[in-house]
Amino acid sequence: MDPPVDPDREPLPSRVLPMLASAATLPAGDDWAYEVKWDGVRVIAASVPGTLRLTSRNAGDVTARYPELARGARRLGMHEAVLDGEVVALGADGRPSFSALQRRMHLTRESAAKRLAAEAPVTYVVFDLLWLDGHDLTVLPYDERRRRLAELDLASERWLVPDPLDGPGEAVLAATREQGLEGVVAKRRDAPYLAGRPKGYWFKWKRDPMVIDAVLMYAQRGHGKRSSFYSDYTFGAWRGDELVPVGKAYSAFTDE
């Protein structure tokens, strides 16, 4: 027997823009929940059984860049859902590495994406549930959305669903500084989910970046349409008389 028809069911949304946080001093009090600010790229995931579609914060399709994330959607079973989260590249120490993620962010060739998915897999950190089985959840308070997200039990090898933190905010800030994480986001527990940067609902704090003088040691040209650009750099710093590699970057620059 077929299940009863849900008269209030709505179609899966074709385009979802993320809710953004404003930079400010973190608020304090019981009205706020705190989350780690992950050093990655924002991605909206729309899942129906057998299909996962990933879009960027500007609604561009980035599904092909992260093929290893499709396996995590199996945890949804027969549910249809739209999720909000961050794609991160976790290092051996468990911390996000944005330089490592840059290798994946601009891939256009399916073969390269599959190769790097095996060599340097990424992780999807899920922190909000926006739509579930025909029903818009963005009108619900943050706490209720997080409760329903937890009930789905989505944690897997390539998907993480960290619990929100109760605070106090200063303690969360201190912990992120100690662990070398990017920062903290504070979210009003009674707030709905609104696209854009609504004032008074979400606030973020980022730790001060470390700045060092570096020497360009190596540069490699891109491939195909990007062959006129250098897109793979290795930087070093002097340690006494020795030039030691200190990091990589993947932004594109012309010869000039």
Q: From start to end of the chain, where are the E strands?
A: 22-23, 32-37, 41-48, 51-55, 81-88, 123-132, 135-136, 159-160, 183-188, 202-206, 215-221, 230-239, 242-249
Active site residue 187: no
The tokens 């662990």 sit on which residue?
Answer: 179
Q: What string of pLDDT tens digits covers the 256 residues of the chain?
A: 555 678 889 889 989 999 999 988 888 899 999 999 998 999 999 999 999 999 999 999 999 999 999 999 999 999 999 999 999 999 888 888 888 888 888 877 888 888 988 888 999 999 999 999 999 999 999 999 999 999 999 999 999 999 998 878 888 888 888 887 888 999 999 999 999 888 889 999 886 555 556 777 667 766 665 566 666 677 777 766 677 676 666 555 555 5
Q: State the DSSP H helix or E strand holding residue 106, giving kind and residue range, or none if neither.
A: none
DSSP 3-state assignment of 86? strand
Q: For residue 179, what pLDDT is reported?
A: 80
Take residue 56 and report the two structure tokens written for it. Answer: 């960027």
CA pair distance 131, 79, nearest whole angstrom = 10
Say which of 37, 114, 204, 206 is annotated catalytic. 37
DSSP 3-state assignment of 76? helix
Q: What is the DSSP letter of 61?
A: B
CA pair distance 222, 231, nearest whole angstrom = 6
Instruction: Check: CB of residue 183 under 8 Å from CB of residue 22.
Output: no
Q: What is the DSSP letter of 156?
A: -
Could you tell me the pTM of the whole model?
A: 0.79
Take residue 226 and report the two structure tokens written for it. Answer: 């990007």
Q: For residue 112, what pLDDT is reported?
A: 87
Q: For residue 17, what pLDDT is reported?
A: 94
